[in-house]
Structure 1
Amino acid sequence: MPSRRPGGRQRSRRSHRRKAEERDWADGLPMDALLAILGRLDHIDVLMAAELVSRSWRRAARDEPTLWRRITMRGHEGIATKLNRCGMACEAVRRSARRCEAFCGEFAGDDGFLIYLSEQAPCLKSLRLISCDGVTDVGLIEAVKELTLLEELEISLCDNVGDSTEYETLGDVCPQLKHFIQRKSHFNVRDSNYAKDIRAIASMRGLRSVQLFGYPLDNEDLEIILDNCLNLESLDIRHCFNVEMDETLLAKCNRIKILKLPDDPTDDCDFQFGSPLRTYVARTWSCCSCCFFRHSDSDDDNDSDFYREPSRYEEDLDKYDRVLPYSMRTFLK
């Protein structure tokens, strides 16, 4: 007697069961593995998409403060105009439950956020601000007064930050500061508003690494830094074209392990930088219209995942607008 083929109802049940198994694979992951996966994402991706995958992913994204210990929020200016990135930054810090130790924000910070960060992240050790035009000297000074454990500070392309008073305050209230980075959007050979800045930076005697990218310091300014920051192990002065490396400076730099000079290549960079505002005729040099820079990892630990590539969520922004839960739609402008 011929065997009966499965009916349409049976085939439908099997297909439904297979689809259910495919959906549930994420829920079966142990929490350690799940946090390892989420930890490799930009935190904007976690906020806007990862928690939509399954219930376990949502619980991990919302209820696991360790996921938000080191927050990275990178992106591009065009997408930043469509998102309430300061609101997202506050939400990310809130989820850390006061355990946040590092924050890196690109187009994701203003004075209000910095005050909130200083209140909600008393253990913060690393603060990196990139293209945060909403941050001013006043807001930064008020915030760092509460961040006494700060060891690393980066200020890149923040046009409203850069007062010598700010640096003097840093030296007083952040005695553990070891790494200082400031990058200008354009090299300006005739900028004369930096002399006090150099002396204030040199007053941070505990610094182990300094990067002044595109900064208009000269030989005398560099000598001041070298003579005062005796623990310096890394110095990056690329695109500081006012510096002429003579025998005196080279001798002072012998003790520095990692040294990058004004004309050194920028092939290893991923940071956008504009062409000089004025041509320097006193010496010959060439500069492309834009170059890129990547900050090297701190040697204190192996948390290299903090310095991740920029988020790729931009390609799916329209998708987020359709599927984002109502409670998260406040982040869309």
Structure 2
Amino acid sequence: MPSRGLGGRARRRRACRRRRDAAVARDWAGGLGTDALLAIFRRLDHVDVLLAADNVCRSWRRAAREEPTLWRRITMRGHEGIARRLNRGGMACEAVRRAAGQCEAFCGEYAGDDGFLMYLIEQAPCLKSLRLISCNYVSNEGFTEPVKKLPLLEDLEVSLCDNVGGYYACGSDRRSDVFEVVGEVCPKLKHFRRSNKLFDVRVWWNKDDDVQGIATMHGLRSLQLFGHALTNEGLETILDGCPHLECLDIRHCFNIDMDEALHLKCAGIKTLRLPDDPTDDYDLEVHSPIRMVVEEEIVWDSGYYSDDSGDDDWDFYGEPSRYESDLDKYEKMLPLNMRTFLK
């Protein structure tokens, strides 16, 4: 009987050891080296790293917070369903802070305002790539002043930013083209992209807006203008000012009529995308262009009017969000220490 009891205790000890060994074997996350963790994190959007990855365990947290190389090229895209509930500007500042002065590229969608741009320039003096998408809280003045401190900039995108572009007040009466400033202070600029939400033939004022500024970017190798209202004359001005262009994308720029003169000017361009070319590889949402003026039905309601076009997305910013149930679930799942990023 005594030996049988001893054997039972031994079996229990062996079972405990097996369970501990199994638990250690399952803890693959904590056992990964820093290089492996960084390789995983680089496949994620940096929003996911901020909100989730660095809360898995101590080693993941250390890799996410103490490795500036992870934040050298910051990408904060998507997350449309939760964008309105997140302090995207605060998250962008935190991402730049973690780069510890090594940030060379920043790409932000719904992330950034005038104050953030000033912070970015102060923390990332060696920035070479800046992409702003749907950053409607960035103004002409707020964009122009920081960009003057980016002499190393090689890649610039300002897409779907309604308040950046055209002319801004400078001094008492003087008016200057925003992108002309870019051409003057960023001599290394090689790639420029500006996408509008959609082409609208009803835009009759200053169709060649931004053209003079883009024409001063003499070192451009690639240019994309999507849904822009520029005309043949405006395009000729750009081609004359940017003789080194190798790639030109003017899809959905339906005021352009590619006549013989324009074809001759574009003869040296290796990759040419014309207004009617397919948009399968376009990475932003493509809206149906308005290419002809038609009589629209205007619905009046309490002093406001709307186009009764049946657009399912018309209430995205007005009516209660269709994502509310997902947002509530997301907020409950969000770690307490990261809820500071919620508005």
Tell me which interval the TM-score lies in, with the shorter structure as reference length: 0.7 to 0.9
What is residue 243 of structure 2 aligned with on the other side? 230
Q: State the secondary structure of the residue aligned to 2:213.
A: helix
What is residue 294 of structure 1 aligned with on the other side? none
C-alpha separation between the residues in 2 aligned to 1:43 and 1:264? 33
User: Partner amino acid for 2:240?
Assistant: D
Q: 1:148 aligns with which of 141, 146, 151?
A: 151
Q: 2:261 aligns with which of 248, 254, 263?
A: 248
What is residue 188 of structure 1 aligned with on the other side? 200
* Residue segments in structure 2 that go unaligned for 5+ positions in a row: 168-176, 295-310, 313-324
Q: 1:20 aligns with which of 5, 24, 27?
A: 24
Q: Does 1:318 align with 2:341?
A: no
The 1:219–1:107 alpha-carbon spacing in structure 2 relative to 1, beyond 3 Å, is same
The 1:190–1:322 alpha-carbon spacing in structure 2 relative to 1, beyond 3 Å, is closer
Identity of aligned residues (%): 60
What is residue 37 of structure 1 aligned with on the other side? 40
Give the drift of 1:132.
Answer: 0.9
Give the drift of 1:16.
Answer: 3.7
C-alpha separation between the residues in 1 aligned to 2:241 and 2:179? 15
The 1:278–1:254 alpha-carbon spacing in structure 2 relative to 1, beyond 3 Å, is closer
What is residue 162 of structure 2 aligned with on the other side? 159
TM-score by length of 1: 0.83
Give the drift of 1:36.
Answer: 1.1
- Render the CA deviation track for 1:57-107: whole Å, top value 9, x for unaligned: 111100000000000001143310111111000000000001100000011
C-alpha separation between the residues in 1 aligned to 2:149 and 2:207? 26
Q: 1:1-333 residue pairs with structure 2 within 5 A?
A: 7=11, 10-23=14-27, 25-164=28-167, 165-191=177-203, 192-277=205-290, 279=292, 318=329, 321-326=332-337, 328-333=338-343
Q: Which runs of structure 1 show a deviation greater than 6 angstroms over 4 or more consecutive aligned residues?
A: 314-317
The 1:16–1:317 alpha-carbon spacing in structure 2 relative to 1, beyond 3 Å, is farther
Give the drift of 1:7.
Answer: 4.7
Work out which structure has the larger RCO, using CA pairs closer than 8 Å and 6 or more positions apart in sequence: 1
CA contact (8 A) 2:51 2:334 kept: no
Bigger radius of gyration: 2
Of 63-72 and 129-138, deviating more is 129-138
C-alpha separation between the residues in 1 aligned to 2:100 and 2:252? 40
C-alpha separation between the residues in 1 aligned to 2:129 and 2:334? 33
Give the drift of 1:19.
Answer: 1.8
Give the drift of 1:251.
Answer: 1.4
* Residue segments in structure 1 that go unaligned for 5+ positions in a row: 282-288, 291-313
C-alpha separation between the residues in 2 aligned to 1:152 and 1:190? 31
C-alpha separation between the residues in 2 aligned to 1:54 and 1:238? 47
Q: State the secondary structure of the residue aligned to 2:187.
A: coil
TM-score by length of 2: 0.81
Give the drift of 1:31.
Answer: 2.0
- Render the CA deviation track for 1:97-146: whole Å, top value 9, x for unaligned: 01100000011111111111011110111111111111111111011011
CA contact (8 A) 2:252 2:289 kept: no
Q: State the secondary structure of the residue aligned to 2:275.
A: coil
C-alpha separation between the residues in 2 aligned to 1:63 and 1:117? 19
- Render the CA deviation track for 1:266-309: whole Å, top value 9, x for unaligned: 1122311322345269xxxxxxx99xxxxxxxxxxxxxxxxxxx
C-alpha separation between the residues in 1 aligned to 2:163 and 2:327? 32
- Computed over aligned residues only, the root mean square deviation of the Cα atoms, in angstroms, reads 2.5
The 1:233–1:317 alpha-carbon spacing in structure 2 relative to 1, beyond 3 Å, is farther
